[in-house]
Amino acid sequence: MLKILNIGCMLNSQDLFKKQFPQFTAKWVIMTNMKNRLTQPTLEVPEELEIQTSTLRLVAKCWGKPDGLPVLALHGWLDNAATFDHLAPFLPEFRLVSLDLPGHGFSDHRPSGTSYHFTDMVVDVLEVAEVLKWDHFSLLGHSMGAGIASYLAGTIPEKIKYLMLIDGLGSIVQAPEEMPENLREATSQWLRRSDKKLPLYPNMETAIKVRHNTGSIAVSSVRTLVARGLRIVDGGFTWRSDPSLKIRSRHYLVKEQACAFLQKISAPVLLIEAKNEKKDQWNELMQELIPHVKNLRHRIITGDHHLHLDNPESVADVIHEFLNDFSENS
Band (1; pLDDT cuts 50, 70, 90): confident
- Residue 61, domain CATH: 3.40.50.1820
- List of long-range contacts for 32-41, beta carbons under 8 Å, 24+ apart: 34/313, 37/313, 37/317, 38/316, 38/317, 38/320, 38/321, 39/90, 39/91, 39/313, 39/316, 39/317, 39/320, 40/90, 41/89, 41/90
pLDDT of the residue at 23: 41
pLDDT of the residue at 40: 67
Residue 128 lies in domain: 2-174+253-329
The answer on pLDDT for 16 being more than 60 is no
In a domain, residue 209? The reply is no
Contacts (Cβ under 8 Å, ≥6 apart) of 95: 62, 63, 64, 65, 66, 67, 68, 69, 70, 71
**In terms of Cα–Cα distance, which of 114, 72, 71 is closest to 93?**
71
Name the catalytic one among 143, 150, 171, 221: 143
pLDDT of the residue at 33: 32
The answer on pLDDT for 5 being more than 90 is no
Span of 20-34, 85-99, 113-127 with lowest mean pLDDT? 20-34
The answer on pLDDT for 11 being more than 50 is no
pLDDT tens readout for residues 286-324: 999 999 999 999 999 999 999 999 999 999 999 999 999
In a domain, residue 181? The reply is no
In a domain, residue 141? The reply is yes
The answer on pLDDT for 60 being more than 60 is yes
Measure CA 323 to chain center.
Answer: 20
In a domain, residue 124? The reply is yes
Band (4; pLDDT cuts 50, 70, 90): low
Band (10; pLDDT cuts 50, 70, 90): very low
Alpha carbon dihedral 312, 318, 319, 324, in 10-degree steps, equals 140
pLDDT tens readout for residues 233-247: 999 999 999 999 999
User: Which of helix, strand or coil describes residue 216?
Assistant: coil
In a domain, residue 217? The reply is no
143: annotated active-site residue: yes
Report the mean per-residue pLDDT for the chain. Answer: 88
The answer on pLDDT for 30 being more than 70 is no
Do residues 18 and 12 make contact, with C-beta atoms less than 8 angstroms apart?
yes
150 to 49, 87, 160, 307: CA distances (angstroms) = 24, 20, 10, 19
In a domain, residue 146? The reply is yes
- Helix, strand, coil in percent for the chain, rounding step 5: 40, 20, 40
pLDDT of the residue at 20: 42
Give the helix/strand (H/E) hosting 207. helix 204-213
In a domain, residue 236? The reply is no
pLDDT of the residue at 282: 81
pLDDT tens readout for residues 249-295: 999 999 999 999 999 999 999 999 998 867 677 888 999 999 999 99
In a domain, residue 186? The reply is no
pLDDT of the residue at 38: 53
Percent of the chain whose predicted confidence (pLDDT) is above 90: 75
Instruction: Please state the domain count of the chain.
Output: 1
